[in-house]
Structure 1
Amino acid sequence: MADGLDLGEPPQPVKQDAYRVLARKYRPQTFSELIGQEAMVRTLENAIRRDRIAHAFLMTGVRGVGKTSTARLIAKALNCIGPDGTGGPTIDPCGVCEPCRAIAEGRHIDVIEMDAASHTGVDDVREIIEASRYAAVSARYKIYIVDEVHMLSKNAFNALLKTLEEPPAHVKFLFATTEVNKVPVTVLSRCQRFDLRRISAEQLASHFAFVTDKEGAVAEPEALMLIARAAEGSARDGLSILDQAISHADLEGGGVTTEAVRQMLGLSDRGAVRELFGQILAGDAPSALATLKRQYDYGVDPLSVFRALLEAVHGVTLTKVGTPPDLAQPAEERAARERWAAALSFPVLHRLWQLFLKGHDEIGHAALPIEAAEMALLRAIHASTLPDPGELAKQIASGKVAPIAVPPVAAPSAPAPVDAAAGRRDPASFAELVDLLDAGKFMALAARLRHSARVVRFAPGQLVLSGSRPLSADMLAELVGALRTVTGQGWKVEFEDQDGTPSLREQDDAAEEGRRLAAWNSDMVMAAREHFPETEMEDWPGKRSNA
């Protein structure tokens, strides 16, 4: 109070409206704003014009394609009365009459929305059934919108069946679900079903450009295309990403750039992918690993790199088949794909697809993702330099390439028979000692030593064997006598509690297995295995039995 005057309350700050995210702000308010669903809109338009409106509708599709929005638009279309209050059902609701505005704001008393994820029981459905008997309060139709209807229990579905089949004339049911396979067939048969399609990347990018302009922001076309691809057909997901990108751009003081979106999404740079793909085809392992590591240091997920490589192979294959080029792709991308399509055969492209797909799967389950990515990359580089199996067969037939010669299992050469009277002979190894025993007519003893004896130490006149497989006292005495006979000198044979080296038989088996694996992993066989993935390695011809 000043000089006895009452100045009243001080001025209050103007309360700002709460920010609404783009996905809610740009929710379709008319069927013309519903992008990518022209076939469904045409069907509804014909049904309304001919007064053939079904009593129950089921909208299905992936997240964010407009199922719930379509249900609300149908509710507006059926209850619109026009600006003058005399209109009837229309595919173009006016948006200004009281029913249109109340439905858009979610406050119409005759349009009831229910989330089936939190109202799954038969009691919830019973409430709908009881209320549906009464006429609408102020609208033309009483409409029930049930989101994620597949979450209802079996009993709830059964309770709804009779009312759903023969509802009162003033009632319409609108169901939305992402998992239509979980909805009972008895319910599906009572509904008019609409399958909402994924929205194409081109349509999403165009819509995002419109939203960006309305928001007073600036965005590069390629950045919007990256967001559209990341959305995977979902307008809601794409608008959420765009919302984040615009906020990021404001903080940086610039528009929505391609590089900023790429970093925000953790996507691999397309230029880097083209560079990496070219290095793989050239067999340049050091450069390819360096490119992969550089992308990893930028924060790009190895899975994202291999997904981009899969997209590159797919794009090159489609170009080679002759499909029209994707005009949304940069000119450099289209030129690179045409160049690779001319240079690569279909077998090579199919092999690269399988290699990258296998690498993608391995990285997704690996404890060390970047290491798994590097190994998968090296495997692809090695295979990219091999001819395809058909070409390799032609080269072998023409004599340009010799078929693989598999080395036979070499039999040990038997030393000359030993005459003890001829004097002393010192074996240089345990294997030579066993051969001397075998040649000196101690075959059974030699076979036992070759099969099970593990040597701890060997020197002329001294043999130390592993105690894990000791000889009997009689056989030990026989061995000492036989050694004296074949070498002309006395031997000291003892046992120690150590593992020792593998037996001669185990060493032979390991060498044999090594030769088998060398043949199995040879260039020609690897190429054949890529072409025939079900190929298995049979037992080696003449392989010894374990018996």
Structure 2
Amino acid sequence: MSDSPQPYRVLARKYRPRNFSELIGQDAMVQTLGNAIRRGRLAHAFLMTGVRGVGKTSTARLIAKALNCVGPDGQGGPTIDPCGLCEPCMAIGEGRHIDVLEMDAASHTGVDDIRSIIDIAGKGAYSARYKIYIIDEVHMLSRNAFNALLKTLEEPPEHVKFVLATTEVNKVPVTVLSRCQRFDLRRIPAELLAAHFAHVVEAESVAAEPDALALIAQAAEGSARDGLSILDQAIAHAEMGEGAPLVTAAQVRDMLGLSDRGATRRLLGLLLEGDTGVLLGAVRDQYALGVEPLSLMRGLLELVHAVTLVKAGRDIANPGQSAEEREALADWASQLGFAPLHRLWQLLLKGHDEVASAALPIESCEMALLRVMHAATMPDPGEIARLIREGAPAAAAPGEGDAAAPSSAPAATLPASFEELIEAFWQRGKGQLAQELHDCIGVVRYAAPELDYAPTPSLPSDFLARLTPALREVTGTAWRVNAVDGPAAPTLLEQEMRKAADARAEIMETPVVKAALAAFPDAELGDGLEQWSAER
């Protein structure tokens, strides 16, 4: 009778690291542990923290191997490179070593569970150099259980080592933290995950497109285990050809309900252009292809964030980013100011939260994007507040008003101040130029119809070419505009920021706030209090 085939092992278990060289993305921790082992400066308790799937429990088992390895000849000592061939290494790797005890604190939370550990800890190791206690999800222990563990954790017997693991280190008592050597395991970068997945598919005799692995790595959010689980699913989803299964980017997008990056860029372009009908049609097309509304909103958020980073001069190293995408990001960054980008981000973030909890997700997505489109052309709250104070007419929303409305006719007289000029631009629907005048212009001299200004580094290079004809259109008069060097007033954005900082400093000096901060040192001054102070 033939032997039954070995049961299938999921990739997350099959490719669990067997030594420290296979532990990806945690080089700093491995170096620290290696130095401690070589110098004989071993802590009696270790605490591993980090998000799910970054290797906390795997690292705990590797530490148990490193401390108990005796080498192939049985004469070796603790080492950062356990051989994997001696009996202790093999037994620990298979989870059957009598001196390496693992406890899941999520299901063993009581003081009696900890007392059983303490009782056994007093006895010597049976066959290993050290008795190792691995307590996973240690933050789940009860308060009494933590108290019972403290003394032993601080002064354990020489032959005992504790390795604690948790995803929520903030829930671990400070008294426990102070008794452990702490290692914060980092999220694994997407490029390292993609390279790791490439080795895995090669070992599994599976073909995969690089873009597919990059998508899986991004969806894993820094977790090797989550990424391997998604890869496992993608391999099962792949169609069998004449040779090995092929995992394609299109299949991964379809499996995860993701929008492709090109479609997301087109959607953002439509959003900025303000074409309502085409925008709604594109949203429905994506929905028909299986793209989840929440994924669509998230893709737009990621794209606006990427544009903002480019605007701030930060180079984004993304191996999955095409030359077309880089060009689009640079183009948007040159056209949009920081204020419109921040407004886009806030509006999209609000829409994302609404879609996440909506009974009608696609309808909520459409309404959220329409709100983004129309709000993007409106004055910011500071301009609206100024208009109300001065009694000036507000700019008409897109599609509102008739031919006699202020937003559809040139100004009767030239704006008396630079601020009024910006307001005239808002009223005529020239929001981008109005924002650039507000954010990026230091006025040297304003005497309508003449304007001398000092540009800031963030001002687009084609600003003057766009401003001159717009001034004639808005005011009905030809202007003389010059970019000059020399002393200039701060931009209006800088003035507002300085005023806000001064107001904040004034509030911080009030007795009530000082007393509150003294009573609650971790408290922070919120925007609401500053607004309340301004209103009073």
Q: So what's the TM-score if we normalise by structure 1? A: 0.70
- Aligned partner of 2:154 in structure 1 is 165
From the superposition, tell whether residues 393 and 236 of structure 1 become closer, same or farther in structure 2 (CA, over 3 Å): same
Equivalent position to 2:324, from 332, 335, 341:
332
From the superposition, tell whether residues 389 and 154 of structure 1 become closer, same or farther in structure 2 (CA, over 3 Å): closer
Equivalent position to 1:84, from 73, 83, 100:
73
From the superposition, tell whether residues 19 and 50 of structure 1 become closer, same or farther in structure 2 (CA, over 3 Å): same
Looking at structure 2, the residues matched to 46 and 177 of structure 1 have their Cα atoms a distance apart, in angstroms, of 24
From the superposition, tell whether residues 228 and 160 of structure 1 become closer, same or farther in structure 2 (CA, over 3 Å): same
Residue 391 of structure 1, CA deviation: 9.5
Question: More deviation in 156-165 or 244-253?
Answer: 244-253
Residue 363 of structure 1, CA deviation: 1.4
CA contact (8 A) 1:281 1:385 kept: no
CA contact (8 A) 2:378 2:395 kept: no
Question: More deviation in 112-121 or 62-71?
Answer: 112-121
Equivalent position to 2:268, from 277, 284, 304:
277
Looking at structure 2, the residues matched to 252 and 230 of structure 1 have their Cα atoms a distance apart, in angstroms, of 26
CA contact (8 A) 1:283 1:384 kept: no
Residue 388 of structure 1, CA deviation: 6.2
Percent pairwise identity: 69
- Aligned partner of 2:144 in structure 1 is 155
CA contact (8 A) 2:51 2:187 kept: yes
Looking at structure 2, the residues matched to 34 and 369 of structure 1 have their Cα atoms a distance apart, in angstroms, of 40
From the superposition, tell whether residues 524 and 177 of structure 1 become closer, same or farther in structure 2 (CA, over 3 Å): farther
- Aligned partner of 1:348 in structure 2 is 340
Residue 390 of structure 1, CA deviation: 8.5
Residue 78 of structure 1, CA deviation: 0.2
1:383 matched to 2:375? The reply is yes
Residue 131 of structure 1, CA deviation: 0.6
Equivalent position to 1:257, from 240, 245, 248:
248
- Aligned partner of 2:205 in structure 1 is 216
* CA-based RMSD: 2.9
1:237 matched to 2:226? The reply is yes
Gaps of 5+ in 2: 397-425, 435-492, 497-526, 532-536
- Aligned partner of 1:322 in structure 2 is 313
1:391-414 deviation line (CA, Å, top 9, x unaligned): 9999x9xxxxx84499xxxxxxxx
Residue 325 of structure 1, CA deviation: 3.5
Residue 381 of structure 1, CA deviation: 1.6
Looking at structure 2, the residues matched to 96 and 16 of structure 1 have their Cα atoms a distance apart, in angstroms, of 25
Residue 383 of structure 1, CA deviation: 2.8
1:60 matched to 2:49? The reply is yes
Looking at structure 1, the residues matched to 48 and 372 of structure 2 have their Cα atoms a distance apart, in angstroms, of 44
Looking at structure 1, the residues matched to 102 and 375 of structure 2 have their Cα atoms a distance apart, in angstroms, of 57
Task: For residue 172 of structure 1, give the secondary structure of its aligned residue in structure 2.
Answer: strand
Residue 387 of structure 1, CA deviation: 6.5
Residue 47 of structure 1, CA deviation: 0.5
From the superposition, tell whether residues 317 and 130 of structure 1 become closer, same or farther in structure 2 (CA, over 3 Å): same
1:398-454 deviation line (CA, Å, top 9, x unaligned): xxxx84499xxxxxxxxxxxxxxxxxxxxxxxxxxxxxxxxxxxxxxxxxxxxxxxx
Looking at structure 1, the residues matched to 361 and 71 of structure 2 have their Cα atoms a distance apart, in angstroms, of 60
Residue correspondence of structure 1 range 55-454 to structure 2 within 5 A? 55-250=44-239, 254-328=245-319, 329-386=321-378, 403-404=393-394
Task: For residue 294 of structure 1, give the secondary structure of its aligned residue in structure 2.
Answer: helix
Looking at structure 2, the residues matched to 523 and 189 of structure 1 have their Cα atoms a distance apart, in angstroms, of 61
Query: Could you tell me which amino acid in structure 1 is paired with residue 304 of structure 2?
Result: V
Query: Could you tell me which amino acid in structure 2 is paired with residue 68 of structure 1?
Result: T
Query: Could you tell me which amino acid in structure 1 is paired with residue 262 of structure 2?
Result: G
Query: Could you tell me which amino acid in structure 2 is paired with residue 58 of structure 1?
Result: L
Looking at structure 1, the residues matched to 34 and 126 of structure 2 have their Cα atoms a distance apart, in angstroms, of 26
Looking at structure 2, the residues matched to 303 and 375 of structure 1 have their Cα atoms a distance apart, in angstroms, of 13
From the superposition, tell whether residues 365 and 405 of structure 1 become closer, same or farther in structure 2 (CA, over 3 Å): closer
Residue 161 of structure 1, CA deviation: 1.0
1:152-179 deviation line (CA, Å, top 9, x unaligned): 1111111111111111100001110111
Residue correspondence of structure 1 range 26-45 to structure 2 within 5 A? 26-45=15-34
Task: For residue 52 of structure 1, give the secondary structure of its aligned residue in structure 2.
Answer: coil
Query: Could you tell me which amino acid in structure 1 is paired with residue 269 of structure 2?
Result: G
Task: For residue 133 of structure 2, give the secondary structure of its aligned residue in structure 1.
Answer: strand
Query: Could you tell me which amino acid in structure 1 is paired with residue 345 of structure 2?
Result: W
- Aligned partner of 2:407 in structure 1 is none
Query: Could you tell me which amino acid in structure 2 is paired with residue 312 of structure 1?
Result: L
Task: For residue 238 of structure 2, give the secondary structure of its aligned residue in structure 1.
Answer: helix
Residue 149 of structure 1, CA deviation: 0.8
| Count of aligned pairs between the two proteins | 404
Task: For residue 7 of structure 2, give the secondary structure of its aligned residue in structure 1.
Answer: coil
Looking at structure 1, the residues matched to 381 and 111 of structure 2 have their Cα atoms a distance apart, in angstroms, of 62
- Aligned partner of 1:515 in structure 2 is none
CA contact (8 A) 2:306 2:329 kept: yes
Looking at structure 2, the residues matched to 82 and 16 of structure 1 have their Cα atoms a distance apart, in angstroms, of 32
1:127-155 deviation line (CA, Å, top 9, x unaligned): 11111111111100011111111111111
Residue 13 of structure 1, CA deviation: 2.8
Task: For residue 125 of structure 2, give the secondary structure of its aligned residue in structure 1.
Answer: coil
Query: Could you tell me which amino acid in structure 1 is paired with residue 314 of structure 2?
Result: T
Query: Could you tell me which amino acid in structure 1 is paired with residue 146 of structure 2?
Result: F
- Aligned partner of 2:450 in structure 1 is none
Looking at structure 2, the residues matched to 83 and 226 of structure 1 have their Cα atoms a distance apart, in angstroms, of 42
CA contact (8 A) 2:240 2:246 kept: no
Q: So what's the TM-score if we normalise by structure 2? A: 0.71
From the superposition, tell whether residues 392 and 337 of structure 1 become closer, same or farther in structure 2 (CA, over 3 Å): farther
Looking at structure 1, the residues matched to 102 and 355 of structure 2 have their Cα atoms a distance apart, in angstroms, of 43
Gaps of 5+ in 1: 1-11, 397-401, 407-521, 537-547
Detail structure 1 runs of 4+ shifted over 2 Å in the superposition: 250-254, 383-394, 402-406, 522-525, 531-536
Looking at structure 2, the residues matched to 282 and 268 of structure 1 have their Cα atoms a distance apart, in angstroms, of 20
CA contact (8 A) 1:317 1:341 kept: yes
- Aligned partner of 2:9 in structure 1 is 20
Looking at structure 2, the residues matched to 247 and 136 of structure 1 have their Cα atoms a distance apart, in angstroms, of 45
